[in-house]
């Protein structure tokens, strides 16, 4: 069933009796061409592109809980392609282009809103770094614009420009960045994959791999053993737990990142703003709540909840640039488990076990990467060669000295 | 989180800096001057694993915390990464000295 304005009108006139479930709930078959472990954004996107771009639809997506219940439903919904390094920026720009065509591609309203992202700078040194980053973005075909203080004032007159400690001197504006309705991304991809015959199997936890003589031929699950030619893992924060079942340790630490929503307000914040002197990023959802976040808690965690010092730190960052929100009430906060890699960049690669593939290490940048991650993973699964935009995302890059360290802080995951 | 410092008593975790898995104390031996190619590869593999590979356990996790806003001691904290509950706190120095003694008695 295709969604369209005409369809909405027709259903409205006939009592909304024609709508169908968006995806089926099949029982698993005995064998698939490809099994995708993890029904989050990346897993569903991989399934969608496998079926729609690479013509492989004998595919199952296995999800421990319900689809979209992990990080794709727990992020601050920001999309952007404002990276610096040549291994990263073309990939994220490709992702941005896929975001721009997403709703047509999946025929699903994901509310892609390119409302612009403004990274504030507070010093000359920071401005110079942003000029360099902006040039890197332009070279990869993205958009970037350096604003001076007046330029920022025009967009966001209510920011605290004269802050004594961190006065706002200007910003790097990335107009094509913005936000997307995160749950709808998962649902849209699920629908796109399901419509081509992909089986999405929820409440089905993978408890082991069938590995013999270095070849992976299937998975053990809570719904029985399922065979496959290729098994593709993409489970974000649970990467180490799942891959340990295949006897692999990864260059990843799982850490908790918190996010926050305030009570609903009238429209106040037209785009996404980030603070340059602390770590704080904020946008306003269509329901009116300010959605914001900051730093990791900074220690290993699988708890999906954080602690109070970071809550205080993030709120201080918010007040520092937007004193006007001082009396707004915080409505909710939650934590997601980030698969923090050792250089802050992800992996989309084969493993040393034949038939077993790995996608992870997205740190806290996984959401914006969803479409490109899915496409590049699907490409790898279909052709056994890395996609041209994901060539750097290898598991063995540390051994070869091929780190992709945007921040240049080394193997200290809580600093990325 | 409250870390029960063995010398200073219960302290807020915000006073500490987190480093990571306590296995970071066990740095592998560097290769000798006359190492063969094979030994060199082995050493590089060991360093790769030491620097970049983590067990990343869900559950009991031994980890290094540095009391930067306090007495600047390094602690080994045993903490459950699923519940954030802390079950044991030791001075890293005590463990290092004990390990050294063990290593020497083996020789």
For residues A310 and A389, membership in a common domain is answered with no
The verdict on residue A5 lying in a domain is no
Confidence of residue B102 (pLDDT cuts 50, 70, 90): confident
B72: left (phi over 0), alpha (psi -120 to 50) or beta: left
Query: What is the nearest CA distance from B18 to chain A, expressed in angstroms?
Result: 6
Are A25 and A100 part of one and the same domain? yes
pLDDT in tens, A19-54: 999 999 999 999 999 999 999 999 999 999 999 999
CA–CA separation, A211 and A209 (whole Å)? 6
* B79 contacts on A by Cβ (under 8 Å): 299
CB count within 10 Å of CB A70 equals 27
Instruction: Provide the 10 A C-beta neighbour count for residue A252.
Output: 27
Do A238 and A98 fall within a single domain? yes
How does residue A359 score in pLDDT terms, banded at 50, 70 and 90? very high
Task: Give the bridge partners for B20, in sequence order.
Answer: B64
Q: Does the pTM of the predicted model rise above 0.90?
A: yes
Mark whether A265 and A312 lie in a shared domain: yes
Residue B105 pLDDT level (bands cut at 50, 70, 90) = confident
Residue with structure tokens 């006939």? A14
How many folded domains does chain B comprise? 1
Put simply, the answer to whether B51 touches A411 (Cβ < 8 Å) is yes
- Residue A332 scores a pLDDT above 80: yes
Which residues on B lie below 8 Å from A241 (Cβ)? 56, 58
Residue A13 has pLDDT above 70, yes or no: yes
Contact assignment for A309 to B18 by CB distance below 8 Å: no
Question: Cα distance from B102 to chain A (closest Cα, Å)?
Answer: 28
Alpha-carbon distances of A331 from A88, A288, A297, rounded to whole Å = 35, 12, 20
Burial class (CB in 10 A: 0-12, 13-18, 19+), A222: exposed
Cα distance between residue A360 and residue A3, in whole Å: 32
Bridge partners, A359 (sequence order): A348
* Mean pLDDT over the full length of chain A: 96
Interface test with B, best of A238, A300, A397 (most B CBs within 10 A): A300
Asked if B63 lies within 8 A of A300 by C-beta distance, the reply is: yes
Q: Which residue has the higher pLDDT, A1 or A108?
A: A108
Domain limit, last residue, from A295, A321, A341? A341
Q: Report chain A residues whose CB lies below 8 A from the CB of B54.
A: 240, 249-253
Q: What's the gap in Å between the CA of B90 and the closest CA on chain A?
A: 18
Q: Check if the beta carbon of residue A374 is closer than 8 Å to that of residue A42.
A: yes
**Among residues 47-106 of chain B, which lie with CB inside 8 Å of chain A?**
48-49, 51-58, 61, 63, 79, 81-84
Q: Give strand pairing partners of A216.
A: A211
Out of A341, A362, A383, pick the residue that ends a domain: A341
- Does the pLDDT value for residue B32 go beyond 70? yes
Q: Is the ipTM of this complex over 0.90?
A: yes
Indicate yes or no: CB of A302 within 8 angstroms of CB of B81: yes
Q: pLDDT digits over A149-194, tens only?
A: 999 999 999 999 999 999 999 999 999 999 999 999 999 999 999 9
By C-alpha distance, the chain B residue nearest A338 is: B56
Two tokens, residue A167? 């006065």
Q: Is B1 on the interface with A (CB under 8 A)?
A: yes
- Residue A101's nearest CA partner among A110, A88, A89 is A110
Cross-chain Cβ contact B18/A303 below 8 Å: no
Tokens matching residue A243: 């891959």
- Regarding whether A156 and A265 lie in a shared domain, the answer is yes
| Closest approach of B101 to chain A, Cα-based (Å) | 30
Which of chain A's residues have a Cβ under 8 Å away from the Cβ of B44? Answer: 399
Chosen for mutation from B21, B56, B61, B78 (greatest number of chain A CBs closer than 10 Å) is B56
Confidence of residue B104 (pLDDT cuts 50, 70, 90): confident
What phi and psi values does residue A118 have, to the nearest 5 degrees? -120, 115
Measured between CB atoms, which of A299, A303, A342 is closest to B18?
A: A299
Output the domain CATH number for residue B21: 3.30.2270.10
pLDDT at B106: 65
Examine the fold and report which residue of A325, A341, A357 is the final residue of a domain before the chain moves on: A341
Residue A158 DSSP one-character state:
T
Please choose, from the candidates B13, B10, B62, B53, the residue with its C-alpha nearest in 3D space to the C-alpha of residue A300. Answer: B62
Q: Can you tell me the distance from the alpha carbon of A366 to that of A356, in angstroms, rounded to the nearest whole number?
A: 21
Which residue matches tokens 């996608």?
A: A359
Same domain as A35, residue A96: yes
**What's A207's domain CATH number?**
3.50.50.60
Domain identity same for A200 and A296:
no
Task: Supply the CATH number for residue A287's domain.
Answer: 3.30.9.10
Q: Is residue A155 part of a domain?
A: yes
Q: Is A188 helix (H, G, I), strand (E, B) or coil?
A: helix
Distance separating alpha carbons of residues A178 and A119, to the nearest angstrom: 12
> Is the pLDDT confidence value at B37 over 80?
yes
Give the residue from chain A lying closest to B61, CA to CA.
A300
Length of chain B counted residue by residue: 107
A216 with A324, same domain?
Answer: no
**Same domain flag for A247 and A370:** yes
Q: Report the domain count for chain A.
A: 2
What are the residues facing A35 on neighbouring strands?
A60, A231
Domain enclosing residue A225, as ranges: 21-108+182-251+343-415
- Give the Cα separation of A25 and A31 in Å (integer): 17
Q: Which domain holds residue B40?
A: 2-25+34-106
**How many angstroms away from the CA of B73 is the closest CA of chain A?**
18
Helices then strands, counting H and E runs in chain B, come out as 2, 6
| Contact present, A229 and A243 (Cβ < 8 Å) | no
The C-alpha atoms of residue A225 and residue B73 are separated, in whole angstroms, by 50
A229 and A197, same structural domain?
A: yes
Q: What are the beta bridge partners of residue A208?
A: A220
Per-residue pLDDT band for A367 (boundaries 50, 70, 90) equals very high
- Is residue A1 a part of any domain in this protein? no
The string over A320-329, giving b where at least 16 C-beta atoms fall within 10 Å of a residue's C-beta and e elsewhere, is bbbeebeebe
Residue A2: inside a domain: no
Of B12, B18, B52, the CB nearest to A251: B52
CB-nearest partner of B56 from A252, A303, A399: A252
Q: Count helices and strands (H / E) in chain A.
A: 10, 18
Same domain, A190 and A170: no
**Claim to verify: residue A406 and residue A269 sit in the same structural domain:** no
Which segments of A264-369 does DSSP mark as H helices, in order? 308-321
A145 forms beta bridges with A173
Chain B residues with beta carbon closer than 8 angstroms to that of A247: none
């Amino acid at each position: 069933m295709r969604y369209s304005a005409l369809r909405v009108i027709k259903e409205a006139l006939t009592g909304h009796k024609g709508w169908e479930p968006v995806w089926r709930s099949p029982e698993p078959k005995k064998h698939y061409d490809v099994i995708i472990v993890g029904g989050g954004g990346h897993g569903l996107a991989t399934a969608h592109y496998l079926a729609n771009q690479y013509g492989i639809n004998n595919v199952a997506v296995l999800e421990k809980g319900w689809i979209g219940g992990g990080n794709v439903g727990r992020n601050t919904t920001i999309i952007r392609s404002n990276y610096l390094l040549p291994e990263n920026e073309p990939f994220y720009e490709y992702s941005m282009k896929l975001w721009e065509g997403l709703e047509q591609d999946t025929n699903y309203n994901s509310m892609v809103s390119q409302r612009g992202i403004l990274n504030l700078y507070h010093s000359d040194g920071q401005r110079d770094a942003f000029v360099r980053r902006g040039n890197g973005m332009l070279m990869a075909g993205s958009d970037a614009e350096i604003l001076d203080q007046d330029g920022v004032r025009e967009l966001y007159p209510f920011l605290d420009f004269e802050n004594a400690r961190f006065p706002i001197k200007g910003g790097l504006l990335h107009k094509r960045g913005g936000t997307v309705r995160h749950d709808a991304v998962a649902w849209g991809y699920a629908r796109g994959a399901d419509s081509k015959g992909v089986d999405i199997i929820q409440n089905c936890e993978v408890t082991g791999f069938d590995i013999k003589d270095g070849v992976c031929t299937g998975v053990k699950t809570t719904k029985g053993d399922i065979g496959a030619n290729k098994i593709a893992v993409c489970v974000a924060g649970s990467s180490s737990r799942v891959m340990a079942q295949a006897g692999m340790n990864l260059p990843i630490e799982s850490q908790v990142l918190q996010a926050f929503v305030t009570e609903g307000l009238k429209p106040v914040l037209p785009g996404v703003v980030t603070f340059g002197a602390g770590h704080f990023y904020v946008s306003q959802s269509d329901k009116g709540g300010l959605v914001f976040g900051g730093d990791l808690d900074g220690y290993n965690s699988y708890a999906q909840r954080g602690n109070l010092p970071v809550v205080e730190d993030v709120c201080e960052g918010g007040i520092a640039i937007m004193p006007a929100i001082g009396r707004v009430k915080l409505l909710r906060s939650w934590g997601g488990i980030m698969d923090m890699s050792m250089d802050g960049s992800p992996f989309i690669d084969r493993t040393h076990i034949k038939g077993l593939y790995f996608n992870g290490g997205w740190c806290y940048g996984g959401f914006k990467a969803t479409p490109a991650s899915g496409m590049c993973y699907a490409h790898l699964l279909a052709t056994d060669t890395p996609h041209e935009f994901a060539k750097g995302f290898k598991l063995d890059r540390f051994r070869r000295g091929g780190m992709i360290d945007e921040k240049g802080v080394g193997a200290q995951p809580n600093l990325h | 989180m409250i870390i029960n410092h063995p010398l200073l008593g219960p302290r807020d975790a915000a006073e500490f800096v987190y480093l990571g898995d306590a296995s970071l104390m066990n740095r592998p031996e560097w290769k000798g001057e006359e190492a063969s190619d094979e030994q060199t590869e082995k050493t590089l593999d060991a360093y790769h694993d030491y620097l970049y590979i983590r067990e990343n356990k869900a559950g009991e996790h031994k980890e290094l915390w540095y009391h930067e806003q306090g007495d600047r001691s390094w602690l080994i904290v045993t903490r459950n990464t699923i519940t954030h509950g802390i079950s044991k706190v030791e001075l890293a120095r005590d463990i290092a000295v004990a390990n050294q003694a063990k290593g020497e008695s083996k020789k």
